[in-house]
Structure 1
Amino acid sequence: MSDAGPRDLTYMRRVAQDRELDVTLTDATEDRITIGFWGPEARAKLQTVVEDPAALEPEAFPFAALRPIRIAGREVTAFRISYVGERGWELHMAYEDGLAVWDALRSTGAIAVGIETYANSRRMEKSLRLQNADLRTEYNLFEASLARPKVKEADFRGKAKHLEYAARDHQPAMLCTLVMTDNIDGNGIARYA
């Protein structure tokens, strides 16, 4: 499970208990891993390490599709998605296959960055909000001062409530965003939150 996993597992357990469902929920967090592979050259680089490069072409692998692929002889479930505003994939695999896949991806010249880089700075550039980091569930986008200036015309679940919140003269809560203007410490070293 990712950062929201413990919350989701707790929610599912509560729903199962409240509804008296006869289900078994298993936390398989340590059985699987995910590597995000994004950027303007993601497709070209990934094509150099998969067994079937043509399978990654846009016509064969449209946005939001899931496909099995093989990297370094390992089975990988590729999910063509992006949270960072650039094309790319989430690559899901068995834990024991992770290092071989990682090494293959790094052999392409791809630069490894941590979640704080792609999930925060790049995601925020795209105006995506990360629940439990940028936005807690008890606040809406307007209260958190994170709403986009426009609402898409197409209907979506929650649109009516979103528009209701937007129409308020005053939000019941207002949060602020802190901006770091100087990241150099006393020793002259650049530090990042």
Structure 2
Amino acid sequence: MIYRAFILLCLAALAGCQGLPYRGAEDQARITADLKLAATPAEFTRLRWAYTNYGVMKGEQTEDAIAVVQPGLITLVGYAGGHYVRQASFRVATVDCAYIFDGETSDRPIWLLQQDRIVFLTVSDFRGNGDVLKRTQLVKALAASGFTLHTDAQGPAYRPTGKSERLLVLNPIVGKHMEDIAENQAHNVCRPQPLKDK
């Protein structure tokens, strides 16, 4: 009996270390209740997110969240003190567009481009393994919610600076290796840019 209790305690500790608990319909109902949502949202997607600034791209520390998409709104939900909590919310009116890397069917990030910053969203895990199906569902939910989508085919939201940096890269297939990574500068492709004097 003591052995069994010890195993259950270890499993509970491991579950707590895995971050955000989320297993589907039961947790969706808890999110709806904890956030006092009037109706069940159209989409729940587990992802990682961060704020980042326009200009030269730097690595940002991401947070685990569940993206809850409702009409005209996406809310990023975390977990604290045994309850789901709102980390951030973005209304359609505060987002110039959702920049969709590589079109709808990809596992690349999504950027919510705001006037002063980018909201970085990714369905990839910390190793970079993405989920194309979850990402596709999220893109469709954002479009249905009223967010304007902008893809690479319409013009990229970043441009190379001409510089590069030699970095250690972890690739799941070839392992760790050094690689020259091109430096990019992010800009708001969905907001008219001021003309520069020549």
TM-score computed with the length of structure 2 as normaliser: 0.24
More strand by share: 2
Q: Please tell me whether Structure 1 or Structure 2 has the larger radius of gyration of its CA atoms.
A: 1
Kindly indicate whether structure 1 or structure 2 has the higher relative contact order, using CA contacts under 8 Å at least 6 residues apart.
2
TM-score computed with the length of structure 1 as normaliser: 0.24
